[in-house]
Amino acid sequence: MSVAALPKAELHLHIEGTLEPELAFALAERNGVTLPYADTEALREAYRFSDLQSFLDLYYALMAVLRTAEDFTALADAYLERAAAQGVRHAEIFFDPQAHTSRGVPIGTVVEGLTASLDRAEERYGISTRLILCFLRDESAESALATLEAAKPYLDRITGVGLDSAEVGHPPAKFRAVYEEAARLGLRRVAHAGEEGPASYVREALDVLGVERIDHGLRCMEDPDLVERLVRERIPLTLCPLSNVRLRVIDTLADHPLRAMLDAGLLVTVNSDDPAYFGGYVGDNYDGVRDALGLAPEQLRTLARHSFEAAFLDDDEPRRARYLAEVAAHAF
Ligand SMILES: [Zn+2]
């Protein structure tokens, strides 16, 4: 029994992290970029990471193949097709403009390319979408502000802002100014916190950046008062179990705190993060935790319900209600 057919929302997905080796080689050829790998097999071999940084090094190197708007459209189309096959009905997609503008690819090229795909996602794949602009936290606060400024002509297509990349040593408070500006512009706010970084980063993201959701956040379990607050305030946490194993945040899926987090009453969701690199798309993550943690159908249904409750669908509540009804009616 696969959990693929269970309707779900994906809320933690980096579009650059959906670049499969086959597409990377196809785009490299189209754009005349030479990759330092002989073939797709050699590239897959490189997908063995010791920590977040070793993954990020490869991740940024491979982005060199993404150059034109058509490349970004192809990337998003490939993700949406796979997501649809794994039960995704709504996707909130992160993108990292600084990883592209630093290579000379304008933010407009990235946004136009992605939205060309997202605009027809509903009709083609039955998936509603939102786009979330992420700042790279290992870049400066000034660079984040400049990125938000450059994004202003495209804000009608961008729902919110996020914060990703290397966490330790780059606390949320570094980005106070850009989050204040994002709030002023009416953008929703999320941030990665408590993945490799400590539970205190989760508090800081809530208190200083005013985020509505925490991406990862699993290290909140080290702080009972914080857990109590997250439960009370119904703050969603977007967990990515396969990512946690690949990046060695935990040893095996059986060690994942997801079950304990559900039992604690936390609003946890299951997502894929960078699926091309971490061994599976969102349905594979559901399958993985079901098998490793022995989750019952009712718990899987709860995870799917959470994903729609946590989605930025406030401007379309009838749609959220429809998705929640689909989850309730789903038979395993
Ligand atoms: Zn992430």
Output the CA 310–ligand 1 centroid distance in Å: 16
Sign of CA dihedral 223, 308, 276, 66: negative
Do 67 and 105 form a contact (C-beta atoms < 8 A)?
yes
Distance (angstroms) between ligand 1 centre and the Cα of 29 equals 28
Report phi then psi at 165, rounded to 5: 75, -165
Compute the distance from residue 214 Cα to the ligand 1 centre, in Å. Answer: 10
- Contact by Cβ (8 Å): 86, 55: no
93, β-bridge pairs: 13, 131
Query: Which tokens sit at 12?
Result: 């933690």
Q: Just list the catalytic residues.
A: 195
Distance 331 CA to ligand 1 centre (A): 30
**What phi-psi label fits residue 238: left (phi over 0), alpha (psi between -120 and 50 degrees) or beta?**
beta
Walk along the chain (332 residues) and give the pLDDT tens digit of each residue.
668 899 999 999 999 999 999 999 999 999 999 998 889 998 888 887 777 888 888 888 899 999 999 999 999 999 999 999 999 999 999 999 999 999 999 999 999 999 999 999 999 999 999 999 999 999 999 999 999 999 999 999 999 999 998 888 999 999 999 999 999 999 999 999 999 899 999 999 999 999 999 999 999 999 999 999 999 999 999 999 999 999 888 999 999 999 999 999 999 999 999 999 998 999 999 999 999 999 999 999 999 999 999 999 999 999 999 999 999 999 98
Residues for the chain: how many in total? Answer: 332
Q: Residue 243 and residue 273: Cα distance in Å, rounded? A: 7
Residue holding tokens 């509505």?
A: 212
Rounded Cα distance between 283 and 10, Å, is 10
pTM for the model: 0.97
- Tell me how far apart the alpha carbons of residues 56 and 16 are, in angstroms, rounded to a whole number: 11
Which alpha helices (DSSP H) does 137-240 contain, by range?
141-151, 176-184, 199-207, 224-232
- Residue 273, classed as helix, strand or coil, is strand
Distance CA 71, CA 185 (A): 29
- CB of 95 closer than 8 Å to CB of 108: no
If we measure between CA atoms, which residue out of 117, 125, 17, 124 comes closest to residue 76? Answer: 117
Q: How many whole angstroms separate alpha carbon 70 and alpha carbon 75?
A: 9
- Helix or strand holding residue 131 (H, E): strand 128-136
Residue 198 CA, ligand 1 centroid: distance in Å: 16
* 28 C-alpha to ligand 1 centroid (Å): 25
* Residue 79 to residue 2: CA distance in whole angstroms: 19
Q: How far is the CA of 180 from the centre of ligand 1 (A)?
A: 22
Q: Is 189 helix (H, G, I), strand (E, B) or coil?
A: strand
C-alpha 299 to ligand 1 mean position (Å): 23
User: Can you tell me the distance from the alpha carbon of 198 to that of 290, in angstroms, rounded to the nearest whole number?
Assistant: 27
Sole residue written with tokens 């490939």:
78
**Cα distance between residue 194 and residue 216, in whole Å:** 6
Q: DSSP character for 74?
A: H
Q: Which residues pair with 94 in a beta bridge?
A: 14, 132
Q: Which helix (H) or strand (E) holds 300?
A: helix 297-309
**Please, what's the largest Cα pairwise distance for the chain?**
54
Could you say which DSSP state residue 248 is in?
A: T
The H-or-E segment that residue 216 falls in is strand 213-216
